[in-house]
Structure 1
Amino acid sequence: MIKEITLQELDTGKFIADYVAEIRNAVADGLAINALSGGVDSSVVTMLGHRALGPRLRTVLIENGLMREGEPERVRAIFEQLGVKVEIIDAREEFFAALKGITDPEEKREAITQTFYKKVFGRIVRESGAKFLLQGTILTDVDETVAGIKRQHNVFAQLGIDPQATFGYEILEPLIRLRKDGVRKVGQALGLPVEMFKRIPFPGPALAARVIGEATPERIATVRQATTVVERLLAGTGAFQYLAILHQDRVTGMRQNRREFGQQIEVRCWDSTDARVAAPTRLPFDLLEQLAHEILRDVPGVVSVTYNIATKPPSTIEAV
């Protein structure tokens, strides 16, 4: 059982010193590699690894085609200002090929996991000679996977999976005893800019976790455009997380006095501290109207916008 370090118990100076030493001892004079997505967890792990290993940490950002608009270039620019070199690896074709025809949520997650760890990352690791992968698994990821709520893409040991035997490298998880609030505090102590350590959570499967049904390039593009609107308009709410979801079913709408059998976007906005439980944010109705207006105006093919008012549980923060 993993012993949690609560926010109240967390001494960031000691935590950073302990895990910098642990990473150095594990890697010794070898090389480590980590995948940076720009999310809070991967950003904090990147800074921990950079502090521990310097140039002996290779940081890559996998462009899987499932990220927010302009995300790879923006994240690379931020980290290069912090002295961390980031390589962008284009793997869009491989991820969309792996997702083709898949609609089941767990099968989608597994396709992304296998493509990332075995195919794309496995190739990069073999080429680099690195024997260690630094990964931003947190305690909530483990809890949800073990409980059967949803398989988080970055949980292995708790499912009896040996990464060394399965993928060919050892995984180091320095954040596994923390929840999201603790990770943010460590990120601040490591010198991450506010926009990084206070970012809203973003799922490992990225926008594929926000498309119900098959995650095709076209459907990802639709939810990406809706995400841009939602994140811009809800950034000032103080909510824990907010997102757009593309539904699978189409609905009847109308444009220019003609029937249009179009798509529907669901908006979710959550109040929470650690993602274990959450309640929908009580947004002003005029803000909901503005969300609907701009999504309907800016996202082609969308004729319906709804707002989720279920709590977690029984709902979950992400849809897939």
Structure 2
Amino acid sequence: MNHQQFIEEQIAYIRETVGEEIAVNALSGGVDSSVVTVLGHRALGNRFKTFFIDNALMREGEPERVVRMFANMGIFVGLVNARAEFLGNLKGLTDPEEKRNAITDTFYAKVFAKIVRDLGARFLLHGTILTDIEETVAGIKRQHNILAQLGIDPEQEYGYQVLEPLKTLRKDGVRQVARILELPSKITERIPFPGPALATRIVGEVTAERLDTIREATKIVEEELRDSSAFQYLAVLLNDKATGIRNNEREFGHIVVVRCIDSVDARTATPVELSWDKLHRLCERITHIKGVNRCLYDLTPKPPATVEYI
């Protein structure tokens, strides 16, 4: 594929489809949404509005960091505090699909629907890629950004049309486009991070306390493995607990799983054989997190496992 031609075609497609209307998008700071943000601004200029939705599910300091990074690129990003809405809708939910549906509904029907109404926007640009569509249609797991492919008409349901300029690309293709667009390496080489964010890395109910635990574990894993050259690495908080010992007393504590994989496009993946020194270091740091007394390393390839747990 000629990626320069792809860029020109998508800018023309966005410009022609939106016409003189206003379009919006949500930016997470990942490569997919970042590419869509740049394409939208090049196509529409000031008629394209970008927002970062603080859903309480992001990594430590992520909202402010992403807003600053794009401000340095000359792109204003509005920061929307929607923490209460997302945590409220996730309360009590443990089923993976119910959690994903709650996040989808909160994002589209509540948070973004209000933004669209306030701006009078008619279009929402999405960072949907081909792998998202394939996994959802195949019934492996529903990706939060899939609508039309499931028979959902966003214009009828939410009041706006959804455009998906990246839907023919896989992750490696999106990275190529990002490099041509001269996005910073912190974006082009950033490891994948799911749209539902840390909610996909908590097995069971998503609460503020459990988010604090997985947020701290995520920071440790990313610090320890950022030089591994792996495709993706992450921490997962299990729903089960295990008996342990802390300060010579019995503790019924959390279990955190570390996952580190190699892949090209996330369709298949193999576990990275980390050194014992690295595994011991990860275990030592993670079990110092309050309430965590077990750290496991996941050796399962994809398939039979998916990359994420939820």
> TM-score scaled by structure 2?
0.99
Distance 1:187 1:130 in 2: 26
- 2:302 equivalent to 1:312: yes
- Structure 2 counterpart of 1:37, from 28, 32, 37: 28
- 2:112 equivalent to 1:121: yes
Q: Output the amino acid matched with 1:312.
A: K
- Provide the residue aligned with 2:200 in structure 1: 209
- Provide the residue aligned with 2:133 in structure 1: 142
Q: CA deviation at 1:257?
A: 1.1
CA deviation map 1:122-168 (0-9, x unaligned): 01101011100010000000000000000001111111111111111
- Provide the residue aligned with 2:238 in structure 1: 247
Q: CA deviation at 1:40?
A: 1.1
Distance 1:286 1:54 in 2: 50
CA deviation map 1:200-224 (0-9, x unaligned): 0001110000000000011011000
- Structure 2 counterpart of 1:112, from 87, 103, 112: 103
SS at match of 2:287: helix
Q: CA deviation at 1:296?
A: 1.4
Q: CA deviation at 1:267?
A: 0.3
SS at match of 2:239: coil
Distance 2:120 2:181 in 1: 28
- Provide the residue aligned with 1:17 in structure 2: 8
SS at match of 1:88: strand
Q: CA deviation at 1:191?
A: 1.4
- Structure 2 counterpart of 1:157, from 148, 169, 186: 148
SS at match of 1:106: helix
Distance 2:46 2:244 in 1: 55
- Structure 1 counterpart of 2:161, from 152, 164, 170: 170
- Provide the residue aligned with 1:303 in structure 2: 293
Q: Output the amino acid matched with 2:47.
A: R
Q: Output the amino acid matched with 2:40.
A: G
SS at match of 2:240: coil
CA deviation map 1:185-239 (0-9, x unaligned): 0011111100101100001110000000000011011000000000010000010
SS at match of 2:194: coil
- 2:275 equivalent to 1:284: yes
- 2:204 equivalent to 1:235: no
Q: CA deviation at 1:280?
A: 0.6
Distance 1:221 1:108 in 2: 18
Q: CA deviation at 1:303?
A: 0.2
Listed as ranges, the matches of 1:68-147 within 5 Å are 68-147=59-138
- Provide the residue aligned with 1:4 in structure 2: none
Which 4+ stretches in 1 moved above 3 angstroms?
Answer: none
> TM-score scaled by structure 1?
0.96
Distance 1:55 1:233 in 2: 40
Distance 2:261 2:158 in 1: 35
CA deviation map 1:48-79 (0-9, x unaligned): 11111111110000000000000000001110
Distance 1:158 1:40 in 2: 22
- Provide the residue aligned with 1:260 in structure 2: 251
Q: Which runs of 5+ in 1 are unaligned?
A: 1-9
CA deviation map 1:70-120 (0-9, x unaligned): 000000111011110001000000000000000000000000000001111
Q: Which runs of 5+ in 2 are unaligned?
A: none
- Structure 1 counterpart of 2:175, from 175, 184, 197: 184
Distance 1:256 1:104 in 2: 35
Aligned length: 310
- Provide the residue aligned with 2:191 in structure 1: 200
